[in-house]
Amino acid sequence: MRKTYKLFIGGAFPRSESGRSYEVYAAAGRSGKRAFLANAAKASRKDARNAVVAARKAVGGWAGATAYNRGQVLYRVAEVMESRRDQLVAEVRTAEGLSPARAGAVVDAAIDRWVWYAGWSDKIAQITGNLNPVAGPYFNISAPEPTGVVAVLAPQDSSLLGLVSVVAPVIVTGNACVVVSSESMPLPAITLAECLATSDVPGGVVNILTGDAAEMAPWLASHLDVNGIDLTGAADLDWAAFEAAAADNLKRVRRPGPEDLAAAPELTRMTAWLETKTVWHPKGR
């Protein structure tokens, strides 16, 4: 039986409100032929806006959860990914045209990366926050807080590791995200959504849209209830226009750039979506 691949919005798996879908093919085999895999949902502007609403609804509770709790929930995601490893390997292999061993290595790297980020939940503040020795009788401390709702254009050419590499660092600190998956390789993204849906991640913290990034990106970039946008997957699009649109409400923007997904990630993937809050309080008897 073949599976229907749908969107992931607010913890549910709806079809696109537009009723549209598009054909997804495997990577070219030796014969050069590309096998048909599925009709994926083609998300619309309205779907993107619904996803933002879901993310906004979820972000308060997620940001307010303890870091320990978020860390455990995200670690659970990695556990569920591990339990679905065979499926993820098969999908990544088909989508990216990799050998079984290579696909296995990519999935393992994605799981390890998820665990790596899960561990940061209760440590990032210990690295990025500090006491400031101000010249006066004041207690003064700076600590990070999540930015809010972040739109993410996931890498187009890495169906799972790329996706994990951009989603995990956004949500581990308490943000919620709306992510547009790789257009041509969306199926591992939906399987990841199924992992998220069975991992105690509150609905709406991660929303995954499949379809045409060029179609959805302008709406996400200009959406006034989105606080940040990661343009990693927009290198081949007119990302400068997205950045300009994002200026309307001063979204935090991460520009596309050379990405080495195999290398150890940089903290900037997390710190890009953090605000620094400094608290002053007088000292005195």
Partner 1 sequence: MPTFEYAPAPESRAVVDIPDSYRLWIGGEWVEGRGTPFPTINPATEETLSTVAEATAEDVDAAVRAARTAYTRIWSRMSGTDRGKYLFRIARIMQERARELAVLETLDNGKPIKETRDFDVPTAAAHFFYHAGWADKLEYAGLGSSPRPHGVVGQIIPWNFPLLMLAWKIAPALACGNTVVLKPAETTPLAALLFADICQQADLPPGVVNLVTGAGATGQAIVDHPGIDKIAFTGSTAVGKMIARSIAGSDKHATLELGGKAANVVFDDAPLDQAIEGIVGGIFFNQGQVCCAGSRVLAQENIVDDVVDRLKRRLETLRLGDPLDKNTDVGAINSERQLARITELSAVGEAEGAVRWDTGCPLPKNGFWFRPTLFTEVSQSHRIAQEEIFGPVLSVLTFRTPGEAVAKANNTPYGLSAGVWTEKGSRILWMADQLKAGVVWANTFNQFDPTSPFGGYKESGYGREGGRHGLAAYVRKGTQQ
**Which positions touch partner 1 (CB under 8 A)?**
67-68, 71-72, 75, 112, 115-116, 118-123, 126-127, 137, 139, 267, 281-285
C-alpha separations of 115 from 69, 120, 129, 151, 263 in Å: 14, 9, 22, 22, 15
| CA 43/CA 20 separation, integer angstroms | 7
Nearer to partner 1, 112 or 275 (CB): 112
Give residues with Cβ within 8 angstroms of 192, minimum separation 6: 81, 88, 160, 163, 164, 167, 208
Nearer to partner 1, 3 or 123 (CB): 123
Q: How far is the CB of 237 from partner 1 (least distance, A)?
A: 33
Q: Which residues pair with 188 in a beta bridge?
A: none
Q: How far is the CB of 284 from partner 1 (least distance, A)?
A: 4
- Which of 3, 279, 267 is closest to 138 using CA atoms? 279
Nearer to partner 1, 33 or 285 (CB): 285
Nearer to partner 1, 14 or 104 (CB): 104
| CA 107/CA 90 separation, integer angstroms | 10
Q: How far is the CB of 155 from partner 1 (least distance, A)?
A: 22
Nearer to partner 1, 119 or 202 (CB): 119
Phi, psi (deg, nearest 5) at residue 36: -70, 135
Q: How far is the CB of 138 from partner 1 (least distance, A)?
A: 8
Q: How far is the CB of 285 from partner 1 (least distance, A)?
A: 4
Nearer to partner 1, 8 or 114 (CB): 114
Q: How many CB atoms lie within 10 A of CB 120?
A: 22
Q: How far is the CB of 121 from partner 1 (least distance, A)?
A: 8
Phi, psi (deg, nearest 5) at residue 224: -80, -10
